[in-house]
Structure 1
Amino acid sequence: MPESKSERWQWENATAGAVAGFATVAAMHPLDVVRTRFQVNDGRVSNLPSYKNTAHAIFTIARLEGLRGLYAGFYPAVLGSTVSWGLYFFFYDRAKQRYSKNKGEKLSPGEHLASAAEAGALVCLCTNPIWLVKTRLQLQTPLHQTRPYFGLYDALRTIIREEGWSALYKGIVPGLFLVSHGAIQFTTYEELRKVIVDLKSKGSKKDSESDDKLLKSVDYAVLGASSKIAAILLTYPFQVVRARLQQRPSSDGIPRYMDSWHVVKETARFEGVRGFYKGITPNLLKNVPAASITFIVYENVLKLLKNARTD
C-alpha cells in the first residue's frame, strides 16, 4: 500500500530534523561539556576543577583531559540529539496537522504552543535515560574516586545495577518543565517567520511566490537564533536543576540532591538567583549559533526532499 502524502511529509520532517540535530552536536559539543560542569558546580564540595570562565574551562579541560575530555559524553549526545530532533519535528508536524485538519493551513500561536509542548513531552519521556548518561559522562574527571563509566552501554548497565531502573529517570520533572523551552522556541520561530514572510511578500513582485523561495539561509539563521535566545532566558533554571539531579551519587550511594525542590532550596540558599544561571554563557555560545545551524540545515534539507519528491 503506497504511502499517503501526509505520511511521506512526516518522514521528511523527521529526516530533516535528525540531520540538523547531528550537525549541531558535532560542532558544539565542547561548549556543552563546559556548560554542564558549570551548572553542577555549586561552590561547595565538588569533584570538578575550578574554572574562571568559559575560555579558561575549555583550555583547562584540553590540557588536563585532552580531546577525550572536551568530547566526554559525545556518543550519547549524538544519539540523544539525533533521536530528539527527529522525534520532535515528527511529533510537532503531526500535532500541527491534527490541529489544522478542519480549519485550513494557518494555526494560532496557542495551537503552535500546544503542538510544540506535546512533541516536547513525548521526546522527554523517550530520551531522559540518554541525557542522564550524557550528563554523568561529561562530569567524569581525573578527580573522581569512583569507578568511571566506560561509555554509554557500561553507564546504563552500571546505573541499573547500582541504583535501579528508576535512576534512569532522574531529572524527569525539570525535564518535563523544559518542554516549555521547545514550545517557546518553536512558537517564537513560527511567529517571527510569519512576520518576515509578510514583509518580504509585500516587496515581492510575485504575490504567489512560496515561503520557500522568499526565505534564504540568512533568514533561517536569524529566526533560529532569536527564538533560541528567548527560550533560553526563560527556561534556563530548569536545566540547572536537572543537571544537578542527574549527578552520580557519591561512593556511599547517597545522591547530592534528593529531588527538584531540594535543588531549588539549596541553590537559592547558598547561591541566590545567580546559581540558577550558572553556565549560561557557554550555553548561549553553544545554542544560539547551534539553533541557527539547526534551522538552516533543517529547512534546506526539507527543501531538497520536497524538490526530490516533486521531480
Structure 2
Amino acid sequence: MSALKSVDWQWENATAGAVAGCATVSFSHPLDVVRTRFQVNDGRVSNFPTYKNTPHALFTIARSEGLRGLYAGFYPAVLGSTVSWGLYFFFYSKAKQRYSKNREELSPGLHLASAAEAGALVCFCTNPVWLIKTRLQLQTPLHQTRPYSGLYDALRTILKEEGWTALYKGIVPGLFLVTHGAIQFTAYEELRKVVVDFKSKKSEQNLSGAELLSSVDYATLGASSKLAAILLTYPFQVIRARLQQRPSKDGIPRYMDSWHVVKETARFEGLRGFYKGITANLLKNAPAASITFIVYENVLNMLKMARRND
C-alpha cells in the first residue's frame, strides 16, 4: 500500500509540474523570443535586427512580424516546458524520496543533489526540443536561408542537413544550467521552510505547510528563488543560445563549441555580452516562476485531496 501511495505521489508531482509549465509558457513566450534574440546578437551578424531595449524589441517584432513573430517557436516551447516541468518534478520528487530514507528532514545539500540529478536527466531528454525552439525564434525577415515552417519541418531539416548530433548542440552549457534548477529549488525549499516555521509559530492551530501558505506566499517564494538562480547562471544561457543558432548557407556554424563562444564573447563584448537579454529574462521568469509555483502547489494540493477522498 505504501509503495502504491508513493507512486501516486510521484505522478501527482509530475502532473502538477506539467500543468504549471504549460501555464507559464503561454503567459511569457513573447519575452522569451526577445531574450533569445538579444542573447545571440553579438553585433557582428547581419541577419538579426538591432533592438534598443525590451519594449522596443516587443514593439518592433509586433510591427514587422505580427503575433506570429512574438509567438515564434511557441509549440516546441509548450512541448518542452510541459515535458521538462513534468519530468523535473517527477525526477526531483523521486530523488528526494530516495535521499530521505532514514532521515526526518533533507539537508540543503541533499535538496541540491536532488535538483541537480533531476535537471541533468531532463536536459538529456529535452535538448532537441529547446534547440528547435531557439531556431524558430531566431527566424527573422532578414534571414537568408529557407525558414523552417514549423516544429516537424525543423526537425526533419536538421536531421537531413546536419545529422542527429546537431539536436544536441548546446548540451554542455545545458548541463551546466542544471545548477540553475538546483539553485532555484534549493532556495525555494529553504525559503519555504523558513516561511512555514514562521507562520506555524504565529498560528495557534496545528496546520500543515500547505494549509499555512497562500498563493501570495508561493508567488513570492517562486520569484525570489528564480531571481537568485538567474543571476548566478545566466551566462550559460547565452552560450547555449549562441551554439544553437542555425549554420549559414555553406553549413559553417557561427561558433564551434562552448569555449569558442566564451572566447569570442569575452573578446568582443566583455562581461556585458554574457548578460545580454537579462532584462527580458527577468521580466519573463520572475512572474513566470511565481505562476509556476502557484499552479504547481495548488494542483498538487487538489490532487492530494482528491486521492484522500477516494
Q: State the TM-score bracket (shorter-chain normalisation).
A: over 0.9
- Identify unmatched segments of 5+ residues in structure 1: none
Cα distance between partner residues in 2 of 1:127 and 1:21? 14
Cα distance between partner residues in 2 of 1:76 and 1:29? 11
Q: Counterpart of 1:41?
A: 41
Cα distance between partner residues in 1 of 2:45 and 2:210? 53
Q: Counterpart of 1:8?
A: 8
The code of the aligned residue for 2:204 comes to: K
Q: Counterpart of 2:198?
A: 199
Cα distance between partner residues in 2 of 1:179 and 1:212? 27
Q: Counterpart of 2:122?
A: 123
The code of the aligned residue for 1:194 comes to: K
Cα distance between partner residues in 1 of 2:207 and 2:126? 39
Shift of 1:101: 1.6
Deviations 1:126-183 (A, max 9, x none): 0000000000000001111111101111101100110111000000000000000000
Shift of 1:284: 0.1
Of the three residues 205, 224, 227, the one matched with 1:226 is 224
Cα distance between partner residues in 1 of 2:8 and 2:171? 32
Cα distance between partner residues in 2 of 1:140 and 1:45? 13
The code of the aligned residue for 1:283 comes to: N
The code of the aligned residue for 1:174 comes to: P
1:1-311 equivalences in 2 (<5 Å): 4-104=4-104, 106-206=105-205, 208-311=206-309
Q: Give me the identity figure in percent.
A: 83
Cα distance between partner residues in 1 of 2:118 and 2:295? 20
- What TM-score do the two structures reach when normalised by structure 2? 0.98
- Identify unmatched segments of 5+ residues in structure 2: none
Cα distance between partner residues in 2 of 1:269 and 1:94? 43
Cα distance between partner residues in 1 of 2:192 and 2:70? 35
Shift of 1:3: 7.0
Secondary structure at the counterpart of residue 4 of structure 1? helix
Cα distance between partner residues in 1 of 2:286 and 2:166? 31
Cα distance between partner residues in 1 of 2:197 and 2:232? 27
Deviations 1:27-57 (A, max 9, x none): 0000000000000000112311110000000
Deviations 1:253-288 (A, max 9, x none): 000000000000000000000000000000000000
The code of the aligned residue for 2:165 comes to: S
Cα distance between partner residues in 2 of 1:268 and 1:131? 25
Cα distance between partner residues in 2 of 1:174 and 1:287? 19
The code of the aligned residue for 1:103 comes to: R
RMSD (Å) for aligned C-alpha atoms: 1.0
- What TM-score do the two structures reach when normalised by structure 1? 0.98
Cα distance between partner residues in 2 of 1:299 and 1:211? 11
Cα distance between partner residues in 2 of 1:3 and 1:290? 34
The code of the aligned residue for 1:260 comes to: S
Cα distance between partner residues in 1 of 2:57 and 2:262? 25
Corresponding residue pairs, total: 309
Deviations 1:191-218 (A, max 9, x none): 0001001110110002x31101100000
Shift of 1:24: 0.2
The code of the aligned residue for 1:73 comes to: G
The code of the aligned residue for 2:36 comes to: T
Cα distance between partner residues in 2 of 1:75 and 1:3? 36
